[in-house]
Amino acid sequence: MSPQVTCMQEIKCPKCGEVFQVDESGYAAIVKQVRDKEFEQELHARHEQFEQEKDAAVELARSEAEKHIASLKAQLSAGEDRQKLAVIEATSERDKTIAEKDAEILTLRSSLEKSASDAALKEQELKNGYEERLKEKDAQIDYYKDFKARQSTKMVGESLEQHCETEFNRLRMTGFKNAYFEKDNDARTGSKGDYIFRDYGDDGTEYISIMFEMKNESDTTSTKHKNEDFFKELDKDRREKNCEYAVLVSLLEPDSELYNAGIVDVSHKYEKMYVIRPQFFIPMITLLRNAATNALSYRQELSIMRAQNIDITHFEENMNEFKEKFAKNYELASRKFKTAIDEIDKTIDHLQKTKEALLSSENNLRLANNKAEDLTIKRLTKNAPSVREAFEALHGEDKD
């Protein structure tokens, strides 16, 4: 067994600088001692650092907590202030709303009181007006009763006509400056109405016409007539005199609620016919005239269209007359033109024949010329020997 070799380690003293050797076990013991001491120092240092960090963290946490608490307290205080302010504002708004409502209530109360007062005043005015109209109506009834009582049977109808004529003439210059209102004196058709009303536009176009019949009778008359008894004759007069409307002004049937109510339209029996009491005479004319005025522009346009149609008719007549005259002149010119063409054709035929005759003469002349050019002494003396001999002798002397 070989002897164990011990490895030595050198160690230098940090203080004196002496170097000495130690074996492995001693070296390990020194290293362990140094390591344990360093570990304890490091552990102690770490512990102190941890304590310092812990204290710092605790202090930081305490500081942050205090800040947070202070912030919460500030927020709480601000919330309490806002709440108090909101309560104050709500209370003020409520008081303001209550004050406004009170003012509105006072205003409405005042308005209601004024409305009630105005309504009472209006009611009184209406009542007074109604009573006044009743008095006027009663006075008018009394007037007509007295009017009828004072008239003889002969004069009753004439007096009603005179009344209507007077009422119309009072307004003629102001309201009916272009109107015609006269008695119907034309009895050529066998009957006549009482009055005819016609009104015209500024251009003279008639736009409304009314046949009037006035009927009344005395209370002492034994035979009592009804309004309907005169409808047929009135409608006949309207049509014969070319009137658009028919109006019966009547005091007949004085107790009739129908005729006493106002204007009565009887066009279901006779076209465009009305029955009125005398007090509605002027309003009836005004009503019908105003309605017709709206149609006046259409009538004027219709009149213009009719005039234009007449102009068109005249234009067509003039055009047709021109066409007829033009056709006659064209036919005459055409015949003369044809005659001239025929004469030209005849002249052309004559010239053609003359041309052909000239061409024929030219050909004959050409043939004659050709024959003349072919003519010789020999041919001429063919059957005349003595003449040929004379020509030969003559010809011989010319050569000498």
Q: What pLDDT digit, counting tens, does each position of 35-61 carry?
A: 666 667 776 777 777 778 777 877 887
Judge residue 158's burial from the number of C-beta atoms within 10 Å of its C-beta, 0-12 exposed, 13-18 middle, 19 or more buried. middle
pLDDT computed for residue 333 by the predictor: 73
Please, which pLDDT band fits residue 320 given cuts at 50, 70 and 90? confident
Question: Could you give the angle at which helices 155-175 and 281-374 cross, rounded to 10 degrees?
Answer: 60
CA dist., res. 254 & res. 248, Å (int): 14
Q: What torsion, rounded to 10 degrees, do the Cα atoms 267, 273, 274, 280 define?
A: 150
Let me know if residue 108 belongs to a domain. yes
Residues 123 and 43 in one domain: yes
pLDDT above 90 for 197:
yes
Number of domains into which the chain is organized:
2
Residue 143: inside a domain = yes
Q: Higher confidence at residue 148 or residue 260?
A: 260
Using the predicted structure, report yes or no on whether residue 295 has a pLDDT greater than 80: no
Q: How far apart, in whole angstroms, are the C-alpha atoms of residue 261 and residue 133?
A: 14
Residues 305 and 194 in one domain: yes
| Residue 307 belongs to some domain of the structure | yes
Of 315, 347, 369, the position where a domain reaches its end is 315
Query: Domain range spanning residue 200?
Result: 154-315
Token pair for residue 92? 């003020």
- Residues 159, 306 within the same domain: yes
Examine the domain organization and report whether 294 and 175 are in the same domain: yes
pLDDT value at position 152? Answer: 40
| Confidence category of residue 124, pLDDT binned at 50, 70, 90 | confident
Task: Assess whether 120 and 203 both reside in one domain.
Answer: no
Q: Among 86, 121, 150, identify where a domain stops.
A: 150
- Indicate whether 187 and 139 sit together in one domain: no
pLDDT value of position 3: 47
The letter for the amino acid at 139 is A
In this structure, the answer to whether residues 197 and 114 fall within a common structural domain is no
Residue ending a domain, choose from 315, 334, 356: 315
Domain co-membership, 146 together with 222 = no
Burial class (CB in 10 A: 0-12, 13-18, 19+), 314: exposed
Q: What is the pLDDT of residue 67?
A: 78
Question: What is this structure's pTM?
Answer: 0.40
Helix (H) or strand (E) holding 264: strand 264-265
pLDDT digits (tens, 9 = 90+) for 152-180: 444 444 578 888 888 899 888 888 888 99
Query: Both 224 and 102 in a single domain?
Result: no
pLDDT beyond 70 at 4 = no
Q: What is the mean pLDDT of residues 385-396?
A: 71
Residues 181 and 308 in one domain: yes
Between the CA atoms of 22, 28, 30 and 32, what dihedral angle is there, to the nearest 10 degrees?
A: 180
- 243 and 104 within one domain: no
Q: Percentage of the chain surpassing pLDDT 90? A: 15
pLDDT mean across residues, the chain? 77
Task: Tell me: pLDDT of 261 over 70.
Answer: yes
257 pLDDT more than 80: yes
What's the pLDDT at 365? 72
